[in-house]
Amino acid sequence: MRTVVTKRGYALYAVLALGVGIVVGVMVSPQVPDVVQPYLPIAVVAALDAVFGGLRAYLDEIFDAKVFVVSFVFNVLVAALIVWLGDQLGVGTQLSTAIVVVLGIRIFGNASALRRRLFGA
* Domain spans in the chain, listed from the N-terminal domain onward: 7-119
pLDDT at 93: 85
pLDDT at 101: 93
For the entire predicted model, the pTM comes to: 0.75
pLDDT at 92: 82
pLDDT at 4: 45
Residue 82 phi/psi, 5-degree rounding, is -65, -40
Total residue length of the chain: 121
> By the 8 A CB rule, do 96 and 90 touch?
no
Residue 30 phi/psi, 5-degree rounding, is -70, 150
Q: Could you report the average pLDDT of every consecutive run of 10 residues in the chain (121 residues)?
A: 55 80 89 88 89 88 86 89 90 88 94 90 74
How far is C-alpha 12 from the chain's CA centre?
A: 16
pLDDT at 120: 83
pLDDT at 108: 95
Specify burial of residue 119 (Cβ count, 10 A radius: 0-12, 13-18, 19+): exposed
